[in-house]
Chain A
Amino acid sequence: MKLLLNLRKRKKFKLSEMIDSFSNEEPDKLISSDLSANECFLRDIFQQCSDVVFRVVPINNKTKLLFVYIDGLCDTKSLDEMMLNPVRTSEKKCEVFIFEEFVANQLRAVAQIKSTKNVNELINGILTANVAVLVEGETTALLADLKGFEKRSIEEPSSETVIRGPRDGFTETLRVNTSLIRKRIRSPRLKIESFTIGKLSKTDVAVVYIEKIASDSVIEEVRKRLESIEIDGVIETGYIEEFVEDFPFSPFPQIQNTERPDIVCGSLLEGKVSIFVDNTPFVLIVPMTFWSGLQAAEDYYERFIYVTFIRWIRYILFNISLLLPSIYVAVTTFHPQLIPTNLLISIASAREDVPFPLLFEAFMMELMFEALREAGIRLPKSIGSAVSIVGALVIGEAAVEAGIISAPMVIVVAATGIASFAVPRYNFGTAYRLLRFPILILAGLFGLYGVILGIVAILIHLVHLQSFGVPYLSPIAPQNPKYLKDVLVRAPRWSMHRRPIKVAGQDKTRIPEGRRTKT
């Protein structure tokens, strides 16, 4: 493990060197007063960048303005309407310094304005969808924030659907995403800290938390870990996740991800910290516990009695998805005395024609099931139904009839598959999907003894895991009865007085005691 870590470090080091060589040799170069020189310089920088637009607009044949922006990223329509038309039609014969003020005022009406003298800052501004305005004879350039690119509209996230609850989901635009949060929590205490990560991609990353509700130590830790990331580009939250998680080699995700703003808001109110990344609808939430992997958004919208029942169903199915094939293999090959006689006879008669050992059979079926699942995800929707038909027919019917697979094994694998879909967080379910195979081998080699060994190993690992200072299994291990109201049961909302995670900040009370009005 250490070896791999070293490897990673070494790679990172090389990468940063490489990136450094790309950046400008003169970081502090200033804008010159000669407009054409500036234009030459910028054209040189943006060589072969066909999407960068240079527009020189002469005013009064004397003063020239240079607009530089990236086509498609900026709102050219409002630029034209609000800026260029008034400037061109302006009858005023202004002096240059007045003129610059005039331009700034015009722009200020539609956009946020920043002025800069530094070339690097100017280039960065252009790349982050600002319109750069350079004026003849001036060493100060204006950067107008006229972002206007195509956005996906807010839709219901397809990966996390609910029956009851809000149907909006995050989009690929960071600002839209933060606005969805701000819309829900209208407090100045909701903080959105900005970071830029990625030497080339310069991706906007935002750390969102509620002051005094999230613990300072966790926020500080998130900041520290984000700042230490050195990478060329960040495409998805997964990039960030792998850098900041505590145990990269664990099969269990230690950072929750979601597409739903209501889940993020709920987590923020619980004292968690979320990390937004531009260009992806997925948002990271830290710290994550084992139990939050088994909680769905709807748990908090439906009535608590039903939810408690559903949670238990989920816990049972979750264990089935991990253990059922292994227990079946272990019991039938090592401990057939545990099976009720009639069942044993049916299993024996079903397996009579099967030429393979049970373990092999189980492996084959599990692999086929995983293959079906993978094929179902990747295939275009129109072919998806073909896969399910072929899968159901070939694996379900024909294989049993041909005597290659026994019917009980099909039932076991199907039950396992259904159970694994009951895990509400997809990436949490995958951990158990993965662990099913080693346990299956253990079961085939050592029987129930092996299964127990596997479970013990998993438990030891889980107890050892931490996510941003929070033990993964808390509040069950280490046990803290105060926080148990949202784990094995879902207590009624009015009785959950405290924030459920131990690391929350000073403001620990959610609902004042004794405030529920009984009618």
Chain B
Amino acid sequence: MIKKLKICLIILVCMFLTTGCWDEREINNQAIILGWGFDQNEDGDYIGSAQIVVPGEVGERSSGQGKGYIVETATGKSLLDVTQNLQRKLSRKVFSSHQKVIVIGERLARNGISNILDIYSREPELPIRTNFFVLKNGDALDLLEVPYKMEDMPSTAAMKMFQSTAGPESTTFKDFLEDASSEGISPTLPILEIISSKKEGNQEKEKDTETFRIGGRAIFNQDLELVGFLSYREAVDRLWIINKLNTHKLTTNLLREEGNVGILGMNFKSKIQPIIQNDRVEFHITLSGTGVVRENNTELDLKQPKNLQIIERSFNKNLQNHMISTITKVQKEYKTDILGFGQSVHKKYPRKWKIWKKYWSKKFSDADITVKVDIHIERTGVTGSPLHLKESEIQK
């Protein structure tokens, strides 16, 4: 009995003394990376830039000293290589589980990003749900160095900006992978743009007045090379078509009358009907939605149903035109199916799809498209006609 106890004790002591805590890492010895930027130089090497938290400065940020973060860069043949080289510059161990955004510079995006993706799904420390962005007109490093006042860390700002504008569609790495690996749809990524928010009369500090904003979408082809951009408004059209638009504020001019009307659109739905005739494909797209009038800069009295019809008609016509121009741009200019038309063909004509899928981008750009938009206005807000108008000015 005593012998057994002794053996147990010895084993226990050995366990404490001879084993290290292999996975243990003190938080003070971690370089917490929040944002990660990717660029490529002329030699084809990757440049990684990391936005790293400086914990000691975070608390003091409010008193005006220190930024709370630093940006470091390193080059390498691959992401792993870059990380290794980055570590040589850092006194603390690289810890990238808390990456909020990954920004890809435009040059790298145009060269193709398929070579940097694998590590994100293989390395356990890297979160698969990081948000991916493409920086339009610039290198990712530039973006990481732009300060952002409202958030402690600019990287979180980019993520939150996206969440508050784009609605439900996420662009995590996982979603990108899903689109990239499926047939009949090409992946897209959201865009970040560096803009100048320079105020008039304050021109000494050039850097401080830079900020960034969410742009539209970057279009990738099946080889994961950047082919072009959609503007923010065009990206909304795309979301509507792929049935992921939740709510969006739409404003349109009236067709015959003067002024414009703004609605809060909801319940957006889309239906893509492919029709194949004589080896040509035709798409009938039916888009519907409901709206609540939020702004009425016309003289119409919205209590009158006929006036509501005028507004609905204007919306339908204008939205339809915009939609057709967006689709045409995607079709003719980029020749990349980011709208999921291929998937609808796959569902309806599985046999045809097998033949077509190899040259789908060509088929896609040749397809005829008809769009029908049906916005139904359900409510008109608190007032009927604008209150500031005199009785005689209101058009009944």
A interface residue numbers (CB < 8 A to B): 2-3, 332-334, 336-337, 341-342, 344-354, 357-358, 444-447
Contacts and interface: CB of A to CB of B under 8 A. Distances in A.
A333 B27 contact: yes
Contacts of B153: 345
A358 B27 contact: yes
Contacts of A350: 59
A10 to B, nearest CB: 15
A334 B23 contact: yes
Nearest to A4: B1
B118 interface: no
* B contacts with A: majority SS: mixed
A3 B2 CA distance: 8
A333 B97 contact: no
27 contacts: A333-B25, A333-B26, A334-B24, A336-B25, A336-B98, A337-B98, A337-B127, A341-B32, A341-B34, A341-B100, A342-B152, A342-B156, A344-B98, A345-B32, A347-B27, A348-B32, A348-B53, A349-B56, A349-B58, A349-B59, A350-B59, A351-B28, A351-B55, A352-B55, A352-B56, A357-B26, A447-B24
B125 interface: yes
B27 A337 contact: no
Contacts of B387: none
Contact of A337 (B56, B58, B97, B156): B97
B353 interface: no
A337 B125 CA distance: 8
A39 B5 CA distance: 59
Contact of A341 (B26, B28, B156): B156
B286 interface: no
Contacts of A345: 32, 53, 55, 58, 152-153
- Looking at chain B, what size class is its interface with the partner chain? 20 to 34
Contacts of B389: none
A332 B24 contact: no
* A contacts with B: majority SS: helix
B18 to A, nearest CB: 12
Nearest to A341: B98
Given A337-B97, A345-B58, A352-B56, A358 B26 contact: yes
Nearest to B28: A351
B389 to A, nearest CB: 48
Given A3-B2, A341-B98, A341-B100, A336 B59 contact: no
A347 B59 CA distance: 11
Chain A CB within 10 A, most for which of B32, B98, B156: B98
Contacts of B58: 345-346, 348-349
Interface string B1-42: 110010000000000100001011111101010100000000
Interface string B41-75: 00000000000010111110000000000000000
B140 to A, nearest CB: 20
A358 to B, nearest CB: 6
B95 interface: yes
